[in-house]
C-alpha cells in the first residue's frame, strides 16, 4: 500500500508543481500574451502572430495561446497554419465551445473532403478526446486515493456499504488507469500532420522528378509514416499514400502538453 501512496503523491506533485521561482518569467509571459492579444484586437494580425509564436518559442503551451494564434492565421487567410494551431489547442482545451466551432468552420473551408482518421484506441476509448492527459492523471490520482482509503477502512471496520463503494472504485481505478495509459500512447504515437501551402503535389517517390499521384491543399490532415532526406511518406484516411517535401507539412503533436510552461 505504501508504494501506491508514494505513486499518488508523485502524481499530485507532477500535476501541481511547487513554485520554483518563475514568478518574473510568468509575469513576462502574461505581458507578451496581453500585447499579442491587443495587436489582434487592433487587426494587426502579423504582429499578433509574432507575439504568440514568441511565447511558444519560449516554451509556453497554453490552449488559448494556440487558439488565438489559429485565429490570427485564419484572419491572414493562412488556412493550413490556422487548422494546425486549432488542432494543437484542441489537445489542451478539448471542450472549449468557441475553439470547436472555429475548428469545424476552418475544416469546412478545406478543399479536400476527407473523413477524419481515428485509430482503434480512439474508437474504443471514445472519451479520450474530451479530456487532456493532465485531467486524466488528476482523475486517476483522486480515484487512487479513494480506493486505498476505502481499502484501509475495510481493514479496520467492514460496514456493508464499503464493499460496494470499494467495488465501484476498483472499476473506476481500472478505467482511469487504462485511460491514462492509452492517452499517453495516443499522444506519443500521434503522427498527424497538416498540409501548409495552398497546393501540394503528392509524388510516387522521394524525388521532385517522380510521378505526381494527386494533389492536396492547405489544411488537409494526413498521417506521416516516415521521413527520408527532406521527404515524408504520408498516408490519407482512405489509405492513399505518397511523398511530399517535409517542409510543406507540420506535425500537430510537436510537444508534450503536461511538461511545458503555462501562464
- In this prediction, residue 66 carries a pLDDT of 96
- In this prediction, residue 27 carries a pLDDT of 52
The total number of residues shown for the chain amounts to: 263
- Which parts of the chain sit beneath pLDDT 50? 1-2, 4-24, 256-260
Residue 73 to residue 79: CA distance in whole angstroms: 7
- Could you please state the CATH topology (level 3) that the domain comprising 192-251 is classified under: SH3 type barrels. (2.30.30)
- In this prediction, residue 15 carries a pLDDT of 44
Angstrom CA distances, 139 to 15, 69, 165, 224, 233, stand at 11, 30, 17, 32, 38
- In this prediction, residue 93 carries a pLDDT of 95
Bridge partners for 237 per DSSP = none
Kindly calculate the radius of gyration of the chain based on its CA atoms and give it in whole angstroms.
Answer: 22
- Contact indicator for 4, 11 with CB cutoff of 8 Å: no
* Interior/surface letters 184-213, b for 16+ CB within 10 angstroms, e for the rest: eebbeebeebbbbeeebbbbeebeeeeeee
- Contact indicator for 248, 234 with CB cutoff of 8 Å: no
Residue 157: strand, helix, or coil:
coil
pLDDT in tens, 105-133: 999 999 987 776 666 666 677 788 889 88
Residue 191 to residue 135: CA distance in whole angstroms: 22
Residue 71 to residue 77: CA distance in whole angstroms: 10
Phi-psi region of 21 (alpha: psi -120 to 50; beta: other; left: phi over 0): left
Q: At what angle do helices 133-156 and 2-15 cross, to 10 degrees?
A: 150
- In this prediction, residue 255 carries a pLDDT of 55
pLDDT in tens, 129-172: 889 888 999 999 998 888 888 777 777 777 777 778 878 888 88
Which spans in the chain are helix H? 2-15, 23-41, 45-57, 63-75, 79-92, 97-108, 120-124, 133-156, 160-188
- In this prediction, residue 258 carries a pLDDT of 43
- In this prediction, residue 89 carries a pLDDT of 96
Taking the alpha carbons at both ends of the chain, their separation in whole angstroms is 36
Bridge partners for 244 per DSSP = 232
- In this prediction, residue 8 carries a pLDDT of 47
- In this prediction, residue 96 carries a pLDDT of 95
Bridge partners for 239 per DSSP = none
- In this prediction, residue 26 carries a pLDDT of 57
- Could you please state the CATH topology (level 3) that the domain comprising 2-109 is classified under: 1.25.40
The residue extents of the domains of the chain are: 2-109, 122-188, 192-251
Amino acid at each position: 500500500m505504501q508504494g501506491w501512496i508514494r505513486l499518488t503523491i508523485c502524481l499530485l506533485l507532477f500535476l501541481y508543481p511547487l513554485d520554483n521561482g518563475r514568478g518574473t518569467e510568468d509575469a513576462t509571459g502574461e505581458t507578451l500574451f496581453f500585447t499579442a492579444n491587443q495587436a489582434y484586437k487592433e487587426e494587426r494580425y502579423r504582429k499578433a502572430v509574432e507575439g504568440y509564436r514568441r511565447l511558444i518559442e519560449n516554451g509556453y503551451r497554453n490552449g488559448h495561446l494556440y487558439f488565438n494564434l489559429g485565429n490570427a492565421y485564419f484572419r491572414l487567410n493562412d488556412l493550413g497554419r490556422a487548422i494546425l494551431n486549432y488542432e494543437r489547442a484542441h489537445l489542451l482545451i478539448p471542450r472549449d465551445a468557441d475553439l470547436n466551432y472555429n475548428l469545424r468552420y476552418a475544416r469546412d473551408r478545406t478543399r479536400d473532403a476527407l473523413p477524419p482518421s481515428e485509430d482503434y484506441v480512439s474508437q474504443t476509448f471514445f472519451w479520450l478526446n474530451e479530456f487532456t492527459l493532465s485531467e486524466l492523471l488528476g482523475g486517476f490520482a483522486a480515484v487512487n486515493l479513494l480506493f486505498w482509503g476505502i481499502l484501509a477502512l475495510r481493514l479496520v471496520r467492514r460496514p456493508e456499504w464499503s464493499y460496494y463503494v470499494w467495488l465501484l472504485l476498483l472499476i473506476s481505478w481500472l478505467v482511469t488507469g487504462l485511460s491514462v495509459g492509452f492517452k499517453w500512447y495516443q499522444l506519443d504515437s500521434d503522427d498527424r500532420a497538416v498540409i501548409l501551402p495552398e497546393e501540394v503535389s503528392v509524388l510516387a517517390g522521394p524525388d521532385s522528378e517522380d510521378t505526381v499521384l494527386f494533389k492536396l491543399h492547405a489544411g488537409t490532415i494526413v498521417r506521416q509514416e516516415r521521413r527520408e532526406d527532406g521527404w515524408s511518406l504520408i498516408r490519407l484516411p482512405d489509405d492513399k499514400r505518397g511523398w511530399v517535401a517535409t517542409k510543406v507539412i507540420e506535425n500537430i503533436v510537436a510537444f508534450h502538453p503536461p511538461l511545458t510552461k503555462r501562464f
